[in-house]
Every structure is written in structure tokens, then in C-alpha cells.
Amino acid sequence: MNCQDYDVIVLGGGSAGIAAAVAAAQNGARTALVEAGQMLGGELLTGMTVDGAINGRGEDTVGGVLNSLLQLCRNMGGFVAKLNDWRLIQYVAYDPEIMKIAIPQLVFDAGVTVYLQTFAEEVVRSDGKVSGLVVRNKGGRQLLTARAFVDASGDGDLCAMAGAEMLSVGRDEKPQPMSMMFRMANVDSGALLAYVREHPECVAVGESDAIRGGRTDREITEEIYRQGQPCVFFKGDGPLLGSAIQSGDMFPTALVMIQPTSASRREVCINATRIALDDPTRTDNVAMALRVLSQQVFQCAEFLRKSVPGFGEASISGMSPRIGIRETRRVVGDYILTGEDVLSGRKRDDGVAKGCHHVDIHQDGTGQIRIPVADGGSYDIPLASLLPKGLENVVIAGRCLSASREAQGSARVMGSCMAMGQAAGSLSAMASSQTNHASLRDIPVGRLRQTLRAQGAILDGTH
């Protein structure tokens, strides 16, 4: 079997994985990034906004690699805008087509070796350390070895193969629904915003005190109108979407979320579809989800064209290249991030990333739990939540972090995933450079924090 050696290997090329790989390479590590698909970026390619990068007060909570990526998009003339959703958070909207160009540029310019269409089959482990990852692609089987590994697979695949303990949903619960993002072009934003301005009863607004600021719903829809961007969230229990669900014109869903992706194409991204299945890691479940979600995309587009001002001449311009999966495995780490940590906006001396997204647990049908972080602020994700118990040279990044279900419902979004990725990649590079092949836990967290700050990560100074 052919063997290739690296300092750091990152499994998973989504938002967390690309941040980890770039950070590791920028810190001097010979880095490989292994991705099962044909593209890098994961949910960044869908048009879904970067949530969890700006808190409810408008403070940036994620910098570093994310900022570099967004600047590349701006340099190419891509749409990038920081916007208020006027419900719970603020976020970054962007053009996913430009993002598809920017991501490879960022990753390859950093010097990362990329393996696409490559599946991880097994790990080589001894005495709590992983020494190799056996992968398979069209060239056959290959052994990739390294001093440190980042599990950014989303599903905790590397940790699972290495025998780490996992957390899962309760016996009477289902994982959060899977979704399929899609985009529609030739949307008349003026007509849409005028309708929202006059029909506050149809939209979700002011769900946190930090966003509401004492305003009435009508005053908030006036703010949406003034913002001038098609950032609109029609609620499932409102008269517009609710009646469509009741009549069968729409499938049951909590919200139809509309967010801008391109001014020149007059295009928006829509997050509405959902299907809840027992285990999203099972391929038969994913296949079933694809059938249902693609049908829902068409049904939702028809509802918007038929019933929502501004969409009468719009058409489907793109569908996500992948199904969006919110929740599968969570790895048990040295510390399990709690719902109280998140909701109280807890700050910590061992924080290596920030989160600020509300606790967001989608449920089947019209159900969804949404609880804001206190005072529109942010919380710190400790290094201990990224270190899997029993593994000395593996670090987690992304939605498989060590967290309660409530906390994962906040930290799973792209902004905090990229912050975790930067921390994981930097830590891995620092450990791999030690001549004694140090455990990741031997790197002082203060030294890691100093490195992250120097490279633009945001660890201090936010509510």
C-alpha cells in the first residue's frame, strides 16, 4: 500500500476543515486535507449565510481564516454583506458561486495537499495515538501518516474509527432534520420588502431583546424595509405560510428563510425544506432524504411564485450540491460544552473560539426551538471541548464537538465551525513541530491563544 507522510491530516473539507487545513499550513505544518466529495467548502457552497460570526449586538466574533476568505470574495467582486436578520442574530451573506472560486484559491495558496473523492476507511492507532489514516479513492487504497489529526468530518468519523466515546440523541428523540438549500433568481426585492413592511403578522421578528430593542413588530418590519436587502423569515404559524401549509400548498416547516446571495442576479437563498430521520449517517436514509427534499424544493419555489410578492417572475437558479445535515454524532471530549455555557454567554480563560448563534434545534414539521444568547452576546468554546477523551493527537472541529445537544444546536453553524477549525489546525501544527511528538494536551492553551490572536482570531472584547 502506498504511503504518504504529513505533519497534520484534516478529515473533512467543509467550513471547519478548510479553516483547520489553512491554519495548520500557515503555521508551518505539511498539511493534507481529505474530502469525500468533489468540492471543498461544504455548506459554504449552498448560499446559506455564515451564521455565528456576528452576535446580536453587531460585534464580530470570528476573524482570521474567515476574514481572509471573505476578502478573497470581495476582491473578485463577489457579493458580501453583513446583515441583521431582525429576529435573533446578525450574519454574513455572500455569493456562493464566487465562494466556489475563493475556497480553492485560499486552500491551495496556503500550501495544503488536497485529496478529493477520497474516503477514510480506517485508522491506525496504538496506545491512544493515531498514526495513520487508511483512505480509498479511484487510485486504490493509501496510507496517510501524520503527527496530528483534525476530525472535521461533521460526523466524528475519525474519532469513531479510533474508538472514541460518542454522544447521541435520546431514545425518544430524532436528530435535527436534514435540509436542502436552494436559490431563486430574478426576485423583485422591492416588492417583497414592501409586502413585509405591511404584513408584520407574517414574519418572524424580534425574538431576542437585543434585536427587538423595545420596538413593535411593525417598527421592526420597517427596519427590514430600510435595510433594503431581501432578508425575510416567513413563519410557519403566520397567516401566509400557515394557510399554505394547511391547504397543502406547502409542506410543514417552521420558517421559510430568504437571504440575499447576488444583487446582479437578483438572487436569494432559501432555507425551508426538512425531513427528520432516525440516523442521517445511514446511506439509505440519506437517499430517502434526497428524494423528499428535492420534491420540497420544487414545492416551495411554486409556493413563493404563487403567493409571495416579488417572486412572480423568479425561477430556481441553483440547488445545494449536498444535503445539509445538522446533527449526527458528538464526540465526548475533556469537557462537554453545556447549554448554560451558551445561553449565559460564558467567557473562559481557556477559550479558543467563540460562538454567538442562538440555541437552534429544528424539529420535525413546524417545530423549532430558538433561544437567544444572553444580551445578544457570545460565549467561549474551550479547548477541552475539542479534545476527544482517550486520543492524544486528535482534535475536533465543527458540529461533532463535545457538547450537549442544546449547546451543539448553537455551535454547529459555519461561523463557530470556522473558528474551531482555525484553533484545531493551529494547535495541530504547534504540536507536530515538537521534536518529542508532544500530545496536543502538552501545548499550553495560553500559547495557542496567543498564536490565534496574532493570526486574526477573535478571542476577547465581545459581550
Res 169: pLDDT: 86
Tell me, yes or no, whether 163 and 205 share the same domain: no
Res 336: pLDDT: 98
Tell me, yes or no, whether 225 and 114 share the same domain: no
Question: Are the CB atoms for 240 and 258 separated by under 8 Å?
Answer: no
User: Span 275-286, mean pLDDT?
Assistant: 93
Tell me, yes or no, whether 302 and 333 share the same domain: no
The pTM assigned to this predicted structure is 0.98
How many domains are contained in the chain?
2
More confident residue, 29 or 439: 29
pLDDT one-digit tens code per residue, 359-386:
999 998 999 999 999 999 999 999 999 9
User: Span 55-66, mean pLDDT?
Assistant: 98
- Here the CATH number for the domain that contains residue 145 is 3.50.50.60
Q: Which among 23, 30, 113, 32 has a CA at the least distance from the CA of 68?
A: 23
Query: pLDDT over 70 for what percent of the chain?
Result: 99
Which domain, by its residues, includes 361?
Answer: 2-54+95-169+327-454
User: Span 304-308, mean pLDDT?
Assistant: 98
User: Span 293-322, mean pLDDT?
Assistant: 98
Q: Assign 32 a pLDDT band (cuts: 50, 70, 90).
A: very high
Residues with Cβ within 8 Å of residue 12, at least 6 apart in sequence = 34, 35, 42, 151, 152, 153, 154, 157, 398
Taking the alpha carbons at both ends of the chain, their separation in whole angstroms is 52
B/e letters for 405-436, b = 16+ CB within 10 Å, e = fewer, are bbbbbbbbbbbbbbbbbbbbbbbbbbbbbeee
User: Span 407-412, mean pLDDT?
Assistant: 98
Round to whole Å and give the CA distance between 381 and 363.
25
pLDDT reading at 438 higher than 90 = no
158 to 73, 133, 359, 393: CA distances (angstroms): 31, 8, 26, 12
Query: Which runs of E-coded beta strand occur in 116-213?
Result: 119-126, 129-137, 140-145, 148-151, 166-167, 182-185
User: Span 279-296, mean pLDDT?
Assistant: 95
Give domain status of residue 460, yes or no: no
**Among 319, 340, 368, residue at a domain's last position:** 319
Cα angle, residue 108 at apex, residues 107 and 112 outer, rounded to 5°: 80
**Among 291, 319, 347, residue at a domain's last position:** 319
**Among 319, 343, 378, residue at a domain's last position:** 319
User: Span 136-140, mean pLDDT?
Assistant: 96
Question: Are the CB atoms for 242 and 236 separated by under 8 Å?
Answer: yes
Tell me, yes or no, whether 401 and 275 share the same domain: no
Mean pLDDT of the chain: 97
pLDDT one-digit tens code per residue, 239-276:
999 999 999 999 999 999 999 999 999 999 999 999 99
Tell me, yes or no, whether 290 and 353 share the same domain: no
170 to 119, 160, 278, 280: CA distances (angstroms): 29, 19, 11, 15
Give domain status of residue 78, yes or no: no
pLDDT one-digit tens code per residue, 221-239:
999 999 999 999 999 999 9
Tell me, yes or no, whether 315 and 333 share the same domain: no
Residues with Cβ within 8 Å of residue 365, at least 6 apart in sequence = 252, 253
Res 437: pLDDT: 64
